Structure 1
Amino acid sequence: MVKLCGICENERAILKRPKTAQQICKTCFYHVFETEIHHTIIDNNLFKRGDRVAIAASGGKDSTVLAHIMKTLNERHNYGLDLSLLSVDEGITGYRDDSLETVKRNQQQYELPLKIVSYQELYNWSMDDIVKEVGLKNNCTFCGVFRRQALDRGAVMLGVDHIVTGHNADDIAETVLMNILRGDVARLQRCTEIVTAGESMIRRSKPFKYTYEKEIVMYAYFKKLDYFSTECIYSPNAYRGHARIFLKDLEAVRPSAIIGKQFP
């Protein structure tokens, strides 16, 4: 028996939303996905008209969908934002050089200015150099700090007011778990905030704060977006991987656990 969309009740349902278990058609999925992100932006007053906003672009699914969504919503709802893409080249051979080719294609596809800053340019060494010195342990921690600083410096070069990142509900829930496991109480509240400020006081926000990773993947797949899907060669050694496995096991039993972890 064909299952009809739970929203329009006309088209055949082709997916089940992970956070609601509602079965919907492709057209309604596009609508609810985009509308929920629009409401997140409006309800949290993320932008004001005239803001110059840099989209942190890695070429991965999250940042590619973010670029597509930001351009779409900016035009549809007349946000009045001046959008650009900002990428960081960490200097990871066989990974970042390939993913930046995707970013360059995205720049053409979305007709947005692109700025690429590199660790080599900013710090006079690459992530490959760091790994040679310190080994594989904790290299993701180092990279995260350097990357945040690089985004801030790149934003200053671009003269932007605001950086948006593709951190989604799963990412935030993983970070909450990591901070609990580390006993880092100070970071618990900060890691769930939708708006923060970097060292340069440039605003950062997460329009995907309440968006499940599975839905981002489905949106990219159905829209046939161009993104880079290879995992960083150093990430298998990351501490975050343990939190991710635990969270996926928890989600299988209780799908709302991902959003629930944002309110420890």
Structure 2
Amino acid sequence: MAPVPCAICKTSRALIIRPKNHQKLCKTCFIQVFEAEIHHTITSTSLFSPGDRIAIGASGGKDSTVLASVLKTLNERYNYGLELVLLSIDEGIKGYRDDSLETVKRNAVQYDMPLKIVGYDELYGWTMDQVVETIGKKGNCTYCGVFRRQALDRGAKMLGIKHVVTGHNADDVAETILMNLLRGDLPRLARSTSIVTGDETSDVRRSKPLKYAYEKEIVLYAHHKKLDYFTTECIYSPEAFRGSARSLIKNLERVRPSAILDVVRSGEDMAKLVPEEVTGVSHCKSQKVSLSSADGEDEGAGGCGTNGRSSGGEMADMEKNLQQNEDAVGREVDVTLLMSSDTNGQKHNRIEAKGRKPGRQEVGKKLVRQKLGTCTRCGYMSSQEICKACTLLEGLNKNRPKMEIEIGVEEEESSTLRRRMEGIAVAVG
């Protein structure tokens, strides 16, 4: 079987089939196309301004590592004029976060970026290991998600930075859209589809430069650029509701590779149906990017990142397969990635919300825009009098004395049992 030439340069041998559109590319062209699409997302949405100080939410996983590498490359290539800083959150998960932070420390040296690490124990007086020990594994991701988002903002304020970028990719956004759709939470769905959270007046705003990048392509980029990243999944995440949404997205992708970006597009269209008074997000500001041009392909080819998430080791298996493929190429054995076929060129009709009549619940009901203030307890920005983190901490701290009493009782019972066993042993002797 003759080698397949690259679809772009026409000279080099194609080694990669893009999951997004099945385009066959050589390693060099794939890296260039991937970086060009991220550059287009950044420029078309005006994410940055010259002189901005940007904190990269670095977990040591594939997404944040690729984000740091790409931003450093594009910042130097296109002269963005950005000052990049790595910001890591230590949740206090032994055997997971302590190991991944070692990867982040190496990245800081490799990319020549300052690194700031902020811990849950420092901010809240709790580690995630202690939280899970108190409440169990079910629902623990709710605590971690709230704490982590606030910790990123607090860490940025410690650094005097007003813009945090995270490694959320297209798979993550599609999962979030499905989760909020299944929960019937359209206001939150509308906010989650925005590539930017907050604006110039916000204390800290967050953005997702990798919003339209497939998770599999991020792994391909990290592999071929030989980036140093951490692959182990969080030991508590399999219990999360997000895992169910992830499984659904992966199954849809196997049948139709463009499904991920189709879900993202649908979420953006549904966001337009939610009044700005409810979401507090301006649709014209949040969805500037052209879905088709962000891919470099037409809409039929598929249209248009905190924690590096993976699906039960699937991405680690993919990395292993990639290495095996490279070894096979060295032995002149043709190895082709098996991907599901897609109907390229099929047109997708976009549904525009025109002249929408108010629903039954909207009649006579005045919609009030949420106003951002500060928490009366911790001073963190919040639309409520008491922020979610303080509410969760209140429940944890109420359980702490009870937990300490139970531990004391268990120790006393254990001591009594030990004395009884010693007495029995003496009697028998």
Same fold (TM over 0.5): yes
**1:88 paired residue number:** 89
**2:7 paired residue number:** 6
SS in 2 for 1:46: coil
SS in 2 for 1:116: strand
Residue of structure 1 aligned with 2:215, choices 205, 208, 213:
213
Shift of 1:201: 3.0
TM-score normalized by structure 1?
A: 0.98
**1:141 paired residue number:** 142
Post-superposition CA distance 1:91-118 (Å, at most 9, x none):
0011000000000000000010000000
**1:27 paired residue number:** 28
Aligned length in residues: 264
- Looking at structure 1, the residues matched to 163 and 78 of structure 2 have their Cα atoms a distance apart, in angstroms, of 19
| Residue segments in structure 1 that go unaligned for 5+ positions in a row | none
SS in 2 for 1:55: strand
Contact 1:152 1:200 in 2 (8 A): no
**2:400 paired residue number:** none
**1:247 paired residue number:** 249
**1:106 paired residue number:** 107
**2:66 paired residue number:** 65
**2:338 paired residue number:** none
Shift of 1:200: 6.1
SS in 1 for 2:76: helix
Query: What's the C-alpha RMSD, in Å, of the aligned pairs?
Result: 1.2
- Looking at structure 1, the residues matched to 97 and 23 of structure 2 have their Cα atoms a distance apart, in angstroms, of 37
**2:224 paired residue number:** 222
- Looking at structure 1, the residues matched to 80 and 162 of structure 2 have their Cα atoms a distance apart, in angstroms, of 15
**2:198 paired residue number:** 197
**2:17 paired residue number:** 16
Higher Cα radius of gyration = 2
**1:157 paired residue number:** 158
Post-superposition CA distance 1:195-254 (Å, at most 9, x none):
003996312110001000000000001111000000000011111111111111101111
> Taking every aligned residue pair, what percent have the same amino acid on both sides?
67
TM-score normalized by structure 2?
A: 0.61
SS in 2 for 1:83: strand
List 4+ stretches of structure 1 deviating above 6 A. Answer: none
Shift of 1:161: 2.1
Residue of structure 1 aligned with 2:239, choices 229, 237, 255:
237
